[in-house]
Chains A and B, each alone.
Chain A
């Protein structure tokens, strides 16, 4: 039996952009705590970027939800079922976007953002990032999704891509601020390692979770998505940034150009992770195993 994935590129982009926005906002707050007053224009960029990418993601979501797109008043019904992660996701997204919007206005009008508002944004930014994984982890018919590792993996990836966007911006545009961002850069260095560990265990456990689980993993590792998985996600998205950053750290002096390259790789990897997880998941076997 052949299986057509339920969602495609628009939803993969949405999951990626929602995480990217949340991650960028959290990174901005980390900069406030670890480099007070030393990276203000980078912080402002992070707030604006988070708002823009989350809004693009939401536009993708609405376009993909065709019946809602034709009847926009139905989107208000999204707050009906609080047993659904989709409903909670709407709550998290609205509160996060609202907080970020106010922060952006304060930035634009050159006012200082109160810390409580930023903490509020951080909490909902983290919740947005983790919900994108929890949403997929709920349906029990897809072993690749139905895993406790998935929300954590998406959260780590969201923080990694968000930090990459902010660090990459500083490396290219704000060299003087980039120097003050050591704590964030250090933290960011370890995230791809955490992701590799999480991906390994997600694949391992899913492979041993019935025919559908095994087939989903095989489709990624040796099947139709093997190139995107190994070259795109594992090598370009995780291993290459690690090598580049390690060379910078433990070898000669870190170059800003190389850091920016590593950050672009991380962002590409972040998108590919969402896309691969969406398209490679196969449903449990009823009569014959699902294949592509």
Chain B
């Protein structure tokens, strides 16, 4: 079975937020509901300044802290290691939002349930259809999606090449790797 993950190359990210908009359109999200959020860090001194934009979204952790605390079983580990939220089980207690070390879960202001990145790219893989996901929409090709367990996959090769690593050490076992 595949174990899907993503690589985000922040050295290619220009902070245009296209991925977030594409995701909102693709998944029919509310205006105030975004599965991708951004942190921006400035470093260096004028004139040698560096601006780093880091897109953050559900890391689909192997040890998902959200699923561990979810009292109703709404947040759970689905097939192919994709963390899912069963919208019909969620009561909106927000405990998962407190447990998520990356603050990437959002409450749907209409339904009150919690939602987050669904790794929808996987459906492009399984059905072979091209679709407007964060990966496809990225103007600079900063995102790579694929099977982490397949050593010959593009993502596995890129991780080995670039030494990409989780955004912060010790928080969980995430499946999104960052080049920074």
**Chain A residues proximal to chain B, CB less than 8 Å:** 1, 3, 6-7, 64-71, 74-75, 77-78, 80-81, 83-87, 90, 135-136, 138-142, 145, 283-288
Contact = CB atoms under 8 A, between A and B. Distances in A.
Contacts of B168: 284-286
Contacts of B112: 65-70
Contact of A141 (B90, B95, B171): B171
Given A77-B73, A81-B71, A286-B39, 10 more contacts: A65-B92, A67-B92, A75-B91, A78-B91, A85-B69, A138-B69, A140-B101, A141-B100, A141-B101, A287-B52
Interface string B34-49: 0000011100000000
Interface residues of B, number: 37
A8 B28 CA distance: 28
Nearest to B75: A81
A283 B72 contact: no
B90 A67 contact: yes
A169 to B, nearest CB: 33
A153 B170 CA distance: 27
B92 A68 contact: yes
Contacts of A65: 91-94, 112
Top 8 closest A-B pairs, CB basis? Answer: A66-B112, A68-B91, A67-B92, A67-B112, A86-B71, A77-B72, A287-B39, A141-B101
Given A1-B39, A141-B101, A7 B94 contact: yes
Contacts of B93: 64-65, 68, 86
B113 interface: yes
Nearest to B10: A287
A288 B111 contact: no
Contacts of A85: 69
B91 A90 contact: no
Given A67-B90, A74-B90, A139-B65, A81 B73 contact: yes
Given A65-B93, A66-B112, A78-B91, A139 B69 contact: yes
B39 to A, nearest CB: 4
Given A1-B39, A81-B72, A138-B69, A287 B92 contact: no
A14 B114 CA distance: 21
Contacts of A287: 39-41, 52, 54, 56, 167
A197 to B, nearest CB: 27
B68 A84 contact: yes
A77 B101 CA distance: 25
B140 interface: no
A139 B72 contact: no
A138 B99 contact: yes
Given A283-B103, A288-B41, A142 B91 contact: no
Contacts of A285: 168
Nearest to B95: A86
22 contacts: A6-B98, A65-B91, A65-B92, A65-B112, A68-B112, A69-B112, A74-B89, A74-B90, A77-B72, A77-B74, A77-B89, A78-B71, A78-B91, A80-B89, A81-B70, A84-B70, A139-B65, A140-B65, A140-B171, A141-B99, A284-B171, A288-B41
